């Protein structure tokens, strides 16, 4: 079956702008989690959606938000971008949320 | 709250030498533990999970509840093992997020 897909793969934005990233999970997976990956901090959990509801949330400011649609596709939005938001944003899907995570290729966001 | 600690950012070993990637966790209940691996230019993927008790690519990991550890071991390192390794924890019972460690980069020197 098709893996997790993320669009776009690369994005360059300037400070103050906003950005929306998209994630399509594996068919049948109801949980989608988002992570920020940086060389210094590793994988940091942003939030998890399950059946269109945010079930878990990490310690990120309110500028980071997300949603999940009825087909389980998820979007993540970052408003008022800062230089420190430059990172690889990974999404992962799973059947239940606490089981094996299947990761997408990531979206590389660069903020200038 | 749960926490996963991987004390080494970088571990360099020679080909054929034993490998041990350390993972310690803090969680008051019964966790489920995983090791994920990310090879160069590939996606992060599951390597193994403690409940399956499998050996994948020669790697094993034993859950030690007394020491709250889940170290990843391989008796003889291969060059293709060079990758980033992440330890992860999920509280049993579900409905809670997966917590990842900061990762250890394994470099196998030929």
At B94, the pLDDT band (50, 70, 90 cuts) reads low
Tokens read off for B16: 């054929």
Neighbours of A93 (CB within 10 A): 27
What's the CA gap between A51 and B32, in Å, rounded? Answer: 23
Q: Is the pLDDT of residue B51 over 80?
A: no
- What pLDDT shows up at residue A1? 67
Dump pLDDT digits (tens) for A11-38: 999 999 999 999 999 999 999 999 999 9
B59 touches B74 (CB < 8 A): yes
> What confidence tens digit (pLDDT) does each residue in A60-91 have?
999 999 999 999 999 999 999 999 999 999 99
CA distance A46 to A66: 9
Of A42, A98, A102, which is closest to B101 when you measure between CB atoms? A42
Query: Of A98, A105, A106, which to mutate for an interface test with B (greatest number of B Cβ within 10 Å)?
Result: A98
Q: For residues B57-92, b (16+ Cβ closer than 10 Å) or e, as one string?
A: eebebebeeeebbbbbebeebeeebbbbbbbbbbbe
């Amino acid at each position: 079956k098709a893996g997790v897909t993320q669009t776009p793969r690369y994005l360059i934005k300037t400070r103050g702008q906003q950005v929306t990233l998209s994630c399509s999970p594996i068919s049948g997976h109801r949980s989608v989690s988002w992570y920020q990956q940086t060389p210094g901090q590793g994988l940091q959990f942003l939030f998890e959606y399950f059946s269109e509801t945010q079930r878990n949330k990490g310690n990120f400011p309110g500028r980071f938000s997300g949603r999940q649609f009825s087909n389980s596709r998820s979007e993540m939005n970052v408003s008022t971008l800062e230089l420190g938001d430059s990172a690889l944003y990974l999404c992962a899907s799973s059947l239940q949320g606490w089981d094996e995570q299947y990761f997408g290729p990531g979206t590389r966001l660069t903020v200038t | 709250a749960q926490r996963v600690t991987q004390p080494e950012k970088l571990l360099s070993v020679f080909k054929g030498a034993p490998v041990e990637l350390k993972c310690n966790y803090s969680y008051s209940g019964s966790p489920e533990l995983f090791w994920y691996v990310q090879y160069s230019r590939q996606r992060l993927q599951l390597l193994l999970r403690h409940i399956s008790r499998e050996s994948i690519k020669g790697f094993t990991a034993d859950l030690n509840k007394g020491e709250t550890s889940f170290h990843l071991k391989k008796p003889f390192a291969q060059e293709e093992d060079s990758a980033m390794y992440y330890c992860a924890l999920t509280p049993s019972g579900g409905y809670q997020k997966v917590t990842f460690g900061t990762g250890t980069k394994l470099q196998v020197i030929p």
